[in-house]
A and B are shown apart, each in its own frame.
Chain A
Amino acid sequence: MTIEAVQPLDSSYGPLARAESPQRRAWRALRRKRVAMVALALIVVIYGAGAYTILDAFGAPIGLQDPEATNLTERRPVREVDGVVETLGAYMAHHQISLEELRRLNPETVALVEAEVGPLSSATVVPPRTTFVLKEDEVLEGPSADHWFGTDRIGRDMFSRTLFAARTTLVISILAFLFGNVFLGLGLGLVAGYLGGKVDNAIMRVGDVVLAIPTLLVLILVSASLRDRWTEWFAAIDDFLGTTFFIDQGIDDFSLLFFSVSFFSWVGTARFVRAQVFALREQEYVLAAEALGARIPRILLRHLLPGVLPWIVVGISATLGAIATLEVALTFLGIGVQAPTASFGAMIDDAGGVRTFNLHPHLLLVPGVTVAVLIFAFNLLGDAVNDVVNPRGR
């Protein structure tokens, strides 16, 4: 260890290096935790996949199968245009299928036709109303090169459904976090903690009531009473704007879900923030701000918010994991995202019983493992962040 001469504090040496902020220090401590980084990577992969499919909502090509398209058998007859039967070449061009593929899918039909008109080529005119199979059923297939995660019971591509399900979870949990924890929880907690007195009492009593209502059950009632109206409102917005975007993208389902989840999940955050603000508001700098005549919104946002914000960040992981869990249960109860929109809950629900699982395990394992990995990663990351922030538990 070498000892260096202490430099005198002279302005000619430039400003002192800035002290590392607590946030940066926490992040560095977190970076050293391998488990936390693996968890974060898993979350980034699953959420990233979900975020990627958002592009689809804006019409960008994303190179995935339509998650709602069924890969069922497709047959098409040869067309007659003005009484003239189209050539096989025109038929193949129209349906974008090659001669080899046509032979492979229709051995019997091809044999019959060839017996009648000779070897097939693009110029061949086949007997009118000959029907070829263009695509075979791809139902309940296991994982393959075409369908990485297999297909479900109506032939939908499970890989693309998984990605779109990740999108559903991503959108709902982020919005529910922002609206429930940040807007309602943080906002009401700040106000209750700073103003105290009657306002505090009112907010906390409302919180008591909200906390006493079991979330799962009240969401059932909310869904039963509001869903139809909610959909009507969004249909009205669509009509007004002359689009079908909101209904097509299931914005009505998503928003009802995150709004109702938010309204019944803000209490924990609000109570926590309120307790923190109780301590902060006694600090001299708040008194100084008050003495300078700062208005309440300014004190809340500029002076108190920065003090509690790190605690909100710490809670992100647990909240997002909890909402992912809730989505699965809500969809099973029929009050989550409605079919045919892909979601983990819907995929698990579609997987069927134990007998189906024995024959086609991928139906349950694909969504089950994905969502379990996501929730597990959130819990691991949340624990690691807690360890970093509360050194006592280390």
Chain B
Amino acid sequence: MTGGVLPFVLRRLLLVPPTLFAVLFITFAFTQAAPGDPVRIITGTRAPDPEVAEQIREEFGLTGGFFDRFGGYFVGLVTRGDLGPSYFHRSPQRSVAELLGERVWISTQLGLISLALIFLLGIPLGVFAAVNRGTWRDPFTIGFFMIFDAIPVLVLIPLMVWLLVFGLHEVPEFFGFSVPSVWTPGDAASYIVPVAALTLPALAGMARFVRVSVLSVLDEDYVRTARAKGLGPRTVVIRHVLRNSLLPLSTVMALSIVTVVTGAILTETLYGVPGVGSFVFASIGQRDFNVILGFTLLVATLFVLANVVIDVAYIYIDPRIRYSRRA
């Protein structure tokens, strides 16, 4: 039994609000369960004046029981896109949405460049490994990039910076421009270290995925036909193999997005990038729970929406797929 496309899309979309609501509820509950009076975190004093404390509770929506607070947060979020006020950035009082908004552009740039590179480099690497199956080049390609997957980012970035500052000091002009050892606004070369730190560890996974996918297509009859009629190996791979083997790639896209976004927390912090990631890291130390909550919701929304878009796009990309309700 084949279901229509539209009912599938609708069913898929209908699941989004409850999922996001549950994510919001769980994460909000954790922030509320944190021990200690939030007023202390906000004012930074052990025993704030009771009147001031009352005022702050009012201002931050900390009055009433758990469900009152949750309701307040939920209504603010849905009606105004309000992620609440920051606990830490108080003079002047800033909102979380504002603080994240200021920093999101730089992180988005880094993330998009890295994602593009992961696909642009990972796909050819995977194809290369698959085509060279049975030779030393296959395990070597994937194995080499698995080294970067194994080195923790916390080690990788210091090593890269050390190379730039001390190791390569003989080569001041590195590929035509000098790479700074820490994020320098306005210097395009600053992008190199964080982008490399976000891209390199992900390449092995992408290449491996593409390799398996290419190998499964490589044995298909139509590929043999293409070869038999005398097409060159290059043409066979590009025109016949690649098109079909890249379909499953869309499924890893959403996961790659999350990896890059959460990877930004460590990468930006270590290289001093003034983006969302380093801001969230600072907020952990400042116990600015609203920031962490806001960022978590942002990433979760991104993930859920990306998944829906990919699922729906898949119907159009791959006409073989039929969505139907299982009996």
Point out residues on A near B: beta carbons under 8 Å: 35, 205, 208-209, 211-218, 220-222, 224-226, 228-229, 321, 325, 328-329, 332-335, 344-345, 348-349, 351, 353-354, 357-358, 364, 368, 371-376, 379-380, 383, 390, 392-394
Nearest CB of A to B181, in Å: 7
Nearest CB of A to B159, in Å: 8
**CB-based contact B154/A332 at 8 Å:** yes
As a 0/1 sequence over residues 131 to 165 of chain B, the CB contacts with chain A under 8 angstroms (1 = contact) are 00100000100110011011111110011011001
**CB-based contact B150/A376 at 8 Å:** yes
**CB-based contact A224/B34 at 8 Å:** yes
Question: Restricting to B267-306, which residues have a CB under 8 Å from any CB of A?
Answer: 280-281, 284-285, 287, 289, 292-293, 295-296, 299-300, 303-304
B250 on the A face (CB < 8 A): no
| CB contacts between A and B, total, < 8 Å | 146
Q: A208-B15, A217-B295 are in contact. Are A348 and B289 (CB under 8 A)?
A: no
Chain B residues whose CB sits within 8 angstroms of the CB of A393 once the complex forms: 211-212, 215-216
Contact of A212 among B19, B159, B284, B292 (CB under 8 A): B19
**CB-based contact B154/A380 at 8 Å:** no
Nearest CB of A to B324, in Å: 15
Nearest CB of B to A360, in Å: 12
A213 to B85 Cα, complex, angstroms: 22
B35 on the A face (CB < 8 A): yes
B195 on the A face (CB < 8 A): no
**CB-based contact B151/A208 at 8 Å:** no
Chain B residues whose CB sits within 8 angstroms of the CB of A371 once the complex forms: 152, 155
- The stretch that binds A, out of B67-75, B97-105, B107-115, B258-266, is B258-266
Instruction: Jot down 19 A-B pairs with beta carbons below 8 A, ordered by A.
Output: A212-B303, A213-B27, A215-B262, A216-B265, A217-B280, A218-B27, A218-B30, A224-B34, A325-B152, A328-B152, A329-B266, A357-B159, A358-B162, A368-B152, A371-B155, A372-B155, A374-B150, A375-B150, A393-B212
Chain A residues whose CB sits within 8 angstroms of the CB of B142 once the complex forms: 383
Nearest CB of B to A146, in Å: 26
B33 on the A face (CB < 8 A): yes
The chain B residue with its CB closest to the CB of A376 is B150
The chain A residue with its CB closest to the CB of B35 is A228
**CB-based contact A213/B152 at 8 Å:** no
Contact of A213 among B33, B215, B292, B300 (CB under 8 A): B300
Chain B residues whose CB sits within 8 angstroms of the CB of A394 once the complex forms: 133
B312 on the A face (CB < 8 A): no
The chain A residue with its CB closest to the CB of B283 is A220
Nearest CB of A to B155, in Å: 4
Contact of A364 among B19, B147, B158 (CB under 8 A): B158
**CB-based contact B296/A213 at 8 Å:** yes
**CB-based contact A214/B296 at 8 Å:** yes
Q: Chain B interface mostly helix, strand, loop or mixed?
A: helix
Q: Chain A interface mostly helix, strand, loop or mixed?
A: helix
- How many interface residues does B have (CB within 8 Å)? 60
**CB-based contact B262/A217 at 8 Å:** yes
Point out residues on B near A: beta carbons under 8 Å: 15, 18-20, 22-23, 26-27, 30-35, 133, 139, 142-143, 146-147, 149-155, 158-159, 161-162, 165-166, 181, 204, 208, 211-212, 215-216, 219, 258, 261-262, 265-266, 280-281, 284-285, 287, 289, 292-293, 295-296, 299-300, 303-304
A361 to B139 Cα, complex, angstroms: 31
**CB-based contact B26/A209 at 8 Å:** yes
A75 to B40 Cα, complex, angstroms: 43
**CB-based contact A354/B19 at 8 Å:** no
A328 to B153 Cα, complex, angstroms: 9
**CB-based contact A217/B266 at 8 Å:** no
The chain A residue with its CB closest to the CB of B155 is A368
Chain B residues whose CB sits within 8 angstroms of the CB of A225 once the complex forms: 30-35
Q: A229-B35, A392-B216 are in contact. Are A354 and B158 (CB under 8 A)?
A: yes
Chain B residues whose CB sits within 8 angstroms of the CB of A380 once the complex forms: 143, 146
Contact of A328 among B15, B154, B159, B265 (CB under 8 A): B154
Given contacts A205-B19, A348-B152, 12 further A-B contacts (CB under 8 A): A212-B23, A213-B27, A329-B153, A353-B158, A354-B158, A358-B166, A372-B151, A376-B147, A379-B149, A379-B150, A390-B212, A392-B212
The chain A residue with its CB closest to the CB of B149 is A379
The 7 closest A-B pairs by CB, nearest first: A376-B150, A368-B155, A221-B30, A225-B33, A375-B150, A209-B22, A225-B34
The chain B residue with its CB closest to the CB of A351 is B158
Nearest CB of B to A353, in Å: 7
A326 to B15 Cα, complex, angstroms: 30
Nearest CB of B to A20, in Å: 26
**CB-based contact B22/A217 at 8 Å:** no
Q: A383-B142, A392-B216 are in contact. Are A354 and B284 (CB under 8 A)?
A: no
**CB-based contact B34/A214 at 8 Å:** no
Chain A residues whose CB sits within 8 angstroms of the CB of B281 once the complex forms: 333
Nearest CB of A to B203, in Å: 13
**CB-based contact A357/B285 at 8 Å:** no
A212 to B254 Cα, complex, angstroms: 10
A222 to B296 Cα, complex, angstroms: 13
Contact of A224 among B18, B139, B146, B287 (CB under 8 A): B287
Interface centre among A211, A229, A374, A394 (most CB of B within 10 A): A211
**CB-based contact B154/A212 at 8 Å:** no
A329 to B292 Cα, complex, angstroms: 16
**CB-based contact A357/B151 at 8 Å:** no
A376 to B152 Cα, complex, angstroms: 11
A222 to B32 Cα, complex, angstroms: 11
Chain B residues whose CB sits within 8 angstroms of the CB of A358 once the complex forms: 162, 165-166
**CB-based contact A212/B146 at 8 Å:** no
Nearest CB of B to A310, in Å: 19
**CB-based contact A218/B296 at 8 Å:** yes
Chain B residues whose CB sits within 8 angstroms of the CB of A345 once the complex forms: 154
Chain A residues whose CB sits within 8 angstroms of the CB of B293 once the complex forms: 221
**CB-based contact A379/B262 at 8 Å:** no
Chain A residues whose CB sits within 8 angstroms of the CB of B26 once the complex forms: 209, 213, 218
